[in-house]
Chain A
Amino acid sequence: MAIEVRIPTILRTYTDGEKAVTGDGASLSALIDDLEANHPGIKDRLIDNGDLRRFVNVYINDEDVRFIGGLEAQLSDGDQVVVLPAVAGGC
């Protein structure tokens, strides 16, 4: 099973500068574990206390995973995953 994962600039230090990497997993959670095995350190930037970080957005085939099960969202071969940090702030 191959899933393409688009990596944002700020996390490319974990992927040797690659903009996209390939991963594997039947759920988002499994995919992130697989990414961690090949790109150590990346999981901690995505997950905090067992849940997706509040200011990291993950999309599966253009759907924000928060609306389709979060870390339990299901994945199939050929799915496209995009990771984008939130653009946010406040005074």
Chain B
Amino acid sequence: MLTIDQATYDAIVRHAKRDHPDEACGIVAGPEGSDRPERVVEMVNAAGSPTFYEFDSTELLDLYKQMWDRDEEPVVIYHSHTATEAYPSRTDIGLASEPGAHYVLVSTREHGNNEGPVEFRSYRIVDGAVTEEEVAVVPALPAR
């Protein structure tokens, strides 16, 4: 199960709506081993595409160095689908490389840049196997 606080959930949804019709992408970092998604980092989609996303390689290194310095890891890796459902594509599955992360998919296909509900779903992707999990949105993460 992914437990995420409302503000972080909202930030991901806002990012996805803003970047529509291109795919938005980013991570939520948290302390290593904590499973707490605490710090949203929006990334630029270097592919700038409605059908593909890729973190810019230089930004990717900066992001990981920052996380290593802070003893963090990517707890959530998110991206949006802008014309299809919020389910990992074959490409998403083939390229998933953080077995410990929650892969969050947001679909903006229904309302695009506008207000309105989105599909927000979370998965584990390990060795090509996808397992959907429940998403619990809470007012705030429990105290550490």
Contacts and interface: CB of A to CB of B under 8 A. Distances in A.
B64 A84 contact: yes
Interface size bracket, B side: 20 to 34
Interface stretch (A27-35, A36-44, A54-62): A54-62
A86 B100 contact: no
Interface in B70-116: 73, 77, 79, 81-84, 88-89, 91-92, 95-100
Contacts of B95: 55, 85-89
B54 A84 contact: no
Interface stretch (B1-9, B45-53, B135-143): B45-53
Contacts of A62: 61
Contact of B89 (A9, A59, A82, A91): A91
B51 A87 contact: no
A10 B77 CA distance: 15
Interface class of chain B by DSSP: mixed
A90 B25 contact: no
A8 B97 contact: yes
Interface string B123-139: 00000000000000000
Among B54, B57, B99, residue most surrounded by chain A Cβ atoms (within 10 Å): B57
B97 A85 contact: yes
Nearest to B107: A91
B89 A90 contact: yes
A35 B41 CA distance: 32
B55 interface: yes
Interface of B: 23, 25, 27, 43, 47, 49, 51-55, 57-58, 60-61, 64, 73, 77, 79, 81-84, 88-89, 91-92, 95-100
Interface of A: 8-10, 55, 57, 59, 62, 64, 66, 82, 84-91
The 7 A-B residue pairs whose C-beta atoms are closest, nearest first, are A85-B97, A90-B52, A89-B92, A88-B54, A87-B55, A90-B91, A91-B81
Given A9-B73, A9-B98, A82-B61, 20 more contacts: A9-B97, A55-B95, A59-B61, A62-B61, A85-B95, A86-B57, A86-B60, A86-B95, A86-B97, A87-B60, A87-B77, A87-B97, A88-B47, A89-B52, A89-B88, A90-B23, A90-B52, A91-B51, A91-B84, A91-B89
